[in-house]
Amino acid sequence: MPRNKRLHFKDIHALKALVFIPIYLFSILSLISPQNSETLSQVSNIAGKISQSSFDFLFFLTAFLVTSHGLREYKYLASFSLKNFYLRRLLRLAPVLFLSLLFAFVLHPWLIRILDLQPMITPSAEPYLWLIPNYLSNFAGPELIYFTFICTVFMFLQFYIFWGLILRFFHNYLNIIALLLIGVGIVSRVIHQLNGSEYLMDTLAFGVPIGIGVLTATAVRNENAVVVKLKEISKNLNSFIYITGCLLFLGGYILSTNSYLTAVIPIFTSLFFGYVIIEQTFGKNSFIQFKTKKILTYFGKISYGMIVYQAIISVMMTIAIESLDYNLTSFYIIGIVILAGFIGTVVAADISYKLFEKPLLRFRREFKKV
């Protein structure tokens, strides 16, 4: 396919790096805060609420990208290869997922036993073999927080399996299916609210960002009139939308705690995500271009590994502190631990990306014809 027919969204990597920050802070603070003040615990809870918006963004972005590629494949090849779609997704997820599972079921129990630390009960591996651990696994305590992120990867696997079939057999009805997914997402979160249960491990509960991601992809591909108008938005209005959207991203779930508003917050944040993608790619009056932020862009490229490995790195640091019988009481030391965990996460993700992920990404191109 001619190069000028390709559609790149170069700002996406930087955006993924930005949404990683609250995820990381929540993860490491949830491991540190039990040993420290109520203030630190509250900061951890706030980071956890913001990280819910981060996961909404990741589901939105995933739906947007895979749908965009599927529609492009239909446009230029007049067909869609389900086999190649699944192979591409598997090659992208497999390296990090395999290494994280190796740590979870082999290395971590071995470290606990060798260092004679407090025994832990590892969840059953069976739900992971059936690809549904997010519904069946038991997450017992912060020392197993990495299982939460591993199960999140399986949630994306579940979405890929489902959406591959939709793209193959129902691609003419994507907008209708997207609207149905939005409805499913709202109903799912309402049910969780009624039951007093947590929705974060329910893939169906992310139907809203997934559905709006799909609608955004079809609008961009079809050059919808709304997309054309968004390109021309003035810088002042553009700034207002960014400020409002960012405030909603940061505070939406904090203000809606334990209420039915959690079901509708992703509608507004996902619309903002769609606006950002369109504005950054096509906008003529941007006051900031994320694709020019090279450090953020690189962090975004390795963000998949960073999201999964950060919890493992944090747990290993906790093991080291526990084995040395050292209690974290100084906020200065806590700051050093947080910084060290971030550096360790970047290093681990960078090594993983260069040694395992990047070679497979090159190989994956054999299954990507447009």
Higher pLDDT, 44 or 10: 44
Q: What does the pLDDT look like over 101-122, one tens digit per residue?
A: 999 999 999 988 888 877 888 8
**Given CA atoms 214, 130, 30, 196 in this order, what sign does their dihedral have?**
positive
H or E element at residue 25: helix 12-32
Element of type H or E holding 109: helix 108-114
Give residue 5's pLDDT band: very low, low, confident or very high (50, 70, 90).
very low
Mean pLDDT of 140-164: 93
Per-range mean pLDDT, top range of 152-166, 317-331, 346-360? 152-166
Q: Could you give the angle at the alpha carbon of 236 between the alpha carbons of 233 and 238, nearest 5°?
A: 50
Lowest mean pLDDT, pick from 47-61, 149-163, 274-288, 334-348: 274-288
How many C-beta atoms lie closer than 10 Å to residue 48's C-beta? 19
Kindly report, residue by residue over 12-67, the tens digit of the pLDDT: 899 999 999 999 999 998 888 655 567 788 888 999 999 999 999 999 999 999 99
190, pLDDT greater than 50: yes
Classify residue 195 by burial, with Cβ atoms within 10 Å: 0-12, 13-18, 19+: exposed
For the chain, report the end-to-end CA distance as a whole number of angstroms: 6
> What pLDDT was estimated at residue 39?
78
pLDDT of the residue at 258: 79
How far apart CA 79 and CA 71 sit, in angstroms, is: 9
The reported pLDDT for the residue numbered 242 is 95
73 vs 67: CA distance, rounded Å: 10
Q: How far apart are CA 13 and CA 152, in angstroms?
A: 19
Cα atoms in the Cβ-side hemisphere of radius 13 Å centred on 340: 14
Give 242-295 pLDDT, tens digit per residue.
Answer: 999 999 999 999 999 878 999 999 999 999 999 999 998 888 888 788 878 889
Average pLDDT over every residue of 151-156: 97
Q: CA 265, CA 277: separation in Å to the nearest integer?
A: 19
What is the mean predicted confidence (pLDDT) over 77-102? 94
Give the residue extent of every domain in the chain. Answer: 3-367
Instruction: Give me the pLDDT at residue 318, please.
Output: 82
Exposed, middle or buried, 169 (CB in 10 Å: 0-12/13-18/19+)?
A: exposed
User: Which is more confidently placed, 137 or 54?
Assistant: 54
Confidence of residue 2 (pLDDT cuts 50, 70, 90): very low
Q: What is the pLDDT of residues 169-184, one digit of tens each?
A: 999 999 999 999 999 9
Query: 327, exposed or middle or buried, with CB in 10 Å at 0-12, 13-18, 19+?
Result: exposed
pLDDT confidence band for 3 (50 / 70 / 90) = very low
pLDDT tier at 153, thresholds 50, 70, 90: very high
Residue with tokens 């971590």: 108
- Averaged confidence pLDDT in the chain: 89
